[in-house]
Structure 1
């Protein structure tokens, strides 16, 4: 399933998307739908176009700006732990190498987008979500299930799409936060956003943040004697900016910029106790986009962007390796209204991807993609169909399909069903890494089916119960060649079956989010559970405003998991938070992580933070 050669590398940030930044637009009227108050949230990831959250056929989760303000996490991967079907791993504290399993799919089999565009390491094929700080994020959407037909390679387990902040139609407003807490953690955030003209045609947002922590020892030296027992700290400095201008009532465009610099101290299990190891990561994206309404029925979106990812490893003050990715991407999408409740989407994408490394040489990758999709309603019937073809310069072409159906029994209840086929392209490591890469391997393939029952109302929110199955074939595994090396081969098979429950809504004045997953993640080649995937896990959050206070708590629980000839015990972690509005502008926020000081593992031999307390002082201009 994964390479035996493990290295630290940051994410590849390709570009920012051109789709409208609409998280809470008004839903279109339609037959047999839930009341508008329940449909106020709108998402774009499930279909590549704005649609009411409750109308999504695939299981879709929205973490809005209030969820981000409520969470105890400061990075994206910490928040994603509360999404249905998601499990996370960390090799230590903040900024450490991390992983995400979505419906049992590995990090490389679940796609991460930022403002509509891919974010992944060209070598590893996976995104480094631990480098994405929540300070620059407005909201996050998560779509569970097989959607390569919409987004291409890697969307087998699903898609995580991160949306950065944008300005509003108001005079410029400033805000800042400062925080101090356990492990000598310090965090600062400063932002300004608004309109540059009275008409609100030109809007902007600029957010900068800095987080520094002394951390703790990543690896338990009682298990791995060669690990350095010193604390492993982390420093992140990030900036994001967006400028958007409405040229006319039918055309708008703008630019986006994002950069995240991280320095992470980490332990090496194969070194000596005196080694000092650091990973220096830089994630940068710059893009230009335009949206235009060509006719009353046809809207077009264009994005041109260049992304850069640098991951350099330093040992004892000397750089030992580098993995630098350069990406250029061009996206053209068109939305055509066939009727009041029927839309056709079609477009073209081009990607040029290169990797500069002192460990191995890899030719540039060029990908040409065409896609088309249909979403529509006929009475209480919902339909979605997508098809996509991706042509790769290094291994050939791959087709993906998605077919979904939903039926509303009444204004609240509906059932859905879907079938999908998708693929994951081999990463540069799979193809070219010394003594293990294999240029002749082909993409991994998967076939997924799912069925769901959903209830939605303005009073309770959206509740959903989903049964799913994904079968993997042609999996890339590393097989011993008899000469002491492991070579990438298409030999693996796997199956993940499960039941997933999700609820995002209210109990009176209390905001509630709950999820559980019961699954059977099996490696059918070796007849054992897939590594680090629990068969049972769940999460729950509740937050309530009481006068000038907002109080809440988080709970994550997981069953046992296998991890490379060992078993990780199950665990449960509780976090608490409280926020007090001192005035209309000033507030103070206190949180306690790991309230009961649980000792647990997310990855074998790696430590996790014990009980911690953090205090934040903030101000916002009204």
Structure 2
């Protein structure tokens, strides 16, 4: 016990810096390719996100985490992420382990990926570029799929709601013997003609409709421990860009097409595995039917995992990304190549101490970058029903300049350095029974030092040029409470709160909060299944005040807001079909709020959804 306390005190001393700064999930079965990461996330915070069909888009699914804030440009509009107070381009999105951020922008519009088109979604909090690669400064979103274990069946989705919303979806898993296939179709339309208040008048939103449709086709062939797979996705979003309140008659349109294709093989042995994936991703954007930008990405990923003994696991591998793009705003055609080599070691040093070391060497253009991370899990106290553990990590992060940063004409800068960060992270985790209920409490803190943020600044030539200009320090506290049990049926109560300060350390506004990084975020939810009769869910969220500029004046702030949603559902089990019906009231209290300054958001609205599942029982 004395040695355990000594190790704990040593690790806690690292986290003390986080907590002393100025002003300071239930896991489901995951795929083989997801396990290549999960085995080496000890000491990190990794959670599986529930894919609730009543939350139709990726941004809505991830908004159930208090560490994430989405800057939404309107209802069903562009949603850019701020993960632990970082910028939108400092969150990495991996699909089958391949970076899926748009190469021209270095970020993703999370509103354009429907959850109906997903099978598995995980979230890793904090910097860990040594494990996840370029862009993993605030966190990493992992999207994956393995149909080889999915049962045969089919599902039909029908839904509608306020403001001219209609959505349909079909998906089916089928096959014979070693061959399995999965087909997924989706279409959603939103007229978006809600009413809102502005300068004492009631106005109706116009020119803000959105159409999304997509196709996903997967194939899997399994024989003697080898799985061959192919995953193809095509998503189109045709969107009228929602006007501001002060210019309600403006009309702009953005059409975005995303094509993704991944093929690969997984070979499993008793104590090792080999994963090989090749992918092609294209992001094509057309603004007002004239201005077109197309980014292409050709990627490969190879990882080999092996277990030396019960205490030691190793991973080695590498990946490449070849980028090309075409745009009227690029002066020349180009090919940019990024290549990484990485290794990981997971060691069970003592029965109650697990430690992981991740290393990555990355190359891009004429630059190279080396990043390590070290994380630990220390079980302080455990019994048959109780557990107290402490997680700690110290990780480096980096983000390379985007294609726009390097090649935009005029202004592109080929001399930009990558953005760099280092993050210290610590968390206590308590699990215990209370009466007949299960209780989980988490409390932790983090601190990030980052520099060389890329900012576009005016130049003497009269146009804007990206520069490595800004230094930022981010500190925060995270806490969560989960209680589950039986009360006339299964229930679950969740509450989480994040306090975050993202502080600019450069220029005349040094010491000020970054724009659109709220200090306070809180979520509370209650889910209850009443036997086999019906279920209901209450979800509430609070988002604190955001500043729109670095001077942090009250005039440049957006007021905090509180949103309450309610869903009532009923499930029916028939001989061949399972039917679920959900009726939702969103913004139950009819709050008048803005997420982004001068952009209207809808008041109370309604949704009705029907899902019919055919199971090959």
Q: TM-score range by the shorter chain?
A: 0.7 to 0.9
Task: Say yes or no: does 1:63 pair with 2:49.
Answer: yes
Q: How does 1:29-40 map to 2 (within 5 A)?
A: none
Q: For 1:463-491, what per-residue CA distance to the aligned partner results, in whole angstroms no more than 9, with x for missing partners?
A: 32111000111111223324543321112
> 3-state DSSP class of the match of 2:405?
helix
Is 1:475 paired with 2:453?
yes
The superposition leaves residues 166-194 of structure 1 with CA deviations (integer Å, 9 ceiling, x where unpaired) of: 35464x32210111110010011111114
Contact 1:82 1:515 in 2 (8 A): no
Give the match for residue 77 of structure 1: 59
Change (3 A) 1:303 1:219: farther
What TM-score results when the alignment is normalised by the length of structure 2? 0.86
Matches within 5 A, 1:91-106: 91-94=73-76, 96-106=77-87
Give the match's secondary structure for 2:104: coil
Q: Say whether the 8 Å CA contact 1:83–1:142 is kept in structure 2.
A: no
Aligned position for 2:559:
569
Distance 2:606 2:256 in 1: 28
Secondary structure at the residue paired with 1:529? coil
Which residue of 2 is the match for residue 544 of structure 1? Answer: 528
Match of 1:610 among 596, 603, 609: 603
1:145-544 matched pairs, under 5 angstroms: 145-164=126-145, 166=147, 168=149, 170=151, 172-197=152-177, 201-216=178-193, 230-248=206-224, 250-267=225-242, 275-293=250-268, 296-314=270-288, 319-361=289-331, 363-377=334-348, 378-393=350-365, 395-411=366-382, 412-456=387-431, 460=438, 462-504=440-482, 506-508=484-486, 509-525=490-506, 526-527=509-510, 528-544=512-528
Alpha-carbon distance between aligned partners in 2 of 1:45 and 1:539, rounded to the nearest angstrom? 31
CA displacement, residues 341-394 of structure 1 (integer Å, 9 cap, x when unaligned): 32101101011111111222352210111000111223100101101011112x
Residues 102 and 157 in structure 1, CA contact (< 8 A), matched pair in contact too: yes
Q: How far has the Cα of 1:540 moved from its partner?
A: 1.8
**8 Å Cα contact 2:239-2:255 kept in structure 1:** yes
**Cα separation, 2, equivalents of 1:457 and 1:245:** 42
CA offset digits 1:183-242 (Å, max 9, x no partner): 010011111114423xxx32222111110010147999869xxx9962411010012222
Q: Distance in 2 between matches of 1:501 and 1:233?
A: 38
Contact 2:262 2:277 in 1 (8 A): yes
1:620 aligns with 2:613: yes
Deviation of the 1:418 alpha carbon = 1.3
Tell me what 1:13 maps to. none
For structure 1, which runs of at least 5 residues remain unmatched after alignment? 1-36
Q: Retained in 2: the 8 A contact 1:521–1:530?
A: yes
Distance 1:38 1:342, change over 3 A: farther
Distance 1:47 1:414 in 2: 22
- Secondary structure of the 1:475 match is strand
* Higher mean C-alpha deviation, range 201-210 or range 499-508: 499-508
**Which whole-Å CA distance do the structure 2 matches of 1:517 and 1:329 have between them?**
36
Structure 2 SS opposite 1:599: coil
Cα offset, 1:460, TM superposition: 2.7
SS where residue 116 of structure 2 aligns?
helix
* Cα distance, 1:222–1:278 mapped onto 2, change above 3 Å: farther
**TM-fit CA distance, 1:270:** 13
1:231-262 deviation per Cα after TM superposition (whole angstroms, max 9, x unaligned): 411010012222111121x2111111111111
CA–CA distance in 1 between the matches of 2:598 and 2:113? 25
Measured in 2, the distance between the counterparts of 1:111 and 1:86 equals 13
In 1, Cα distance between equivalents of 2:416 and 2:88: 19
Map 1:41-56; keep pairs closer than 5 Å: 48-51=36-39, 56=42
Change (3 A) 1:272 1:453: closer
Which ranges in structure 2 are unaligned for 5 or more consecutive residues?
Answer: 1-24
Structure 1 residue 514, shift from structure 2 partner: 2.5
1:618 Cα offset (Å): 2.1
- Distance in 2 (alpha carbons) for counterparts of 1:536 and 1:215: 29
Deviation of the 1:73 alpha carbon: 1.9
User: What's the offset of the Cα at 1:40?
Assistant: 6.5
Deviation at 1:272, TM superposition (A): 7.5
Contact 1:218 1:266 in 2 (8 A): no
- Cα displacement (A) at 1:320: 2.6
The worse-fitting range, judged by mean Cα deviation, of 454-463 and 278-287 is 454-463
Counterparts of 1:403 and 1:218 in 2: how far apart (Å)? 51
Q: Is the 8 A contact 1:169 1:195 kept in 2?
A: no
Displacement of 1:160: 0.8
SS in 1 for 2:581: strand
Match of 1:559 among 515, 537, 544: 544
Q: Is the 8 A contact 2:26 2:47 kept in 1?
A: no
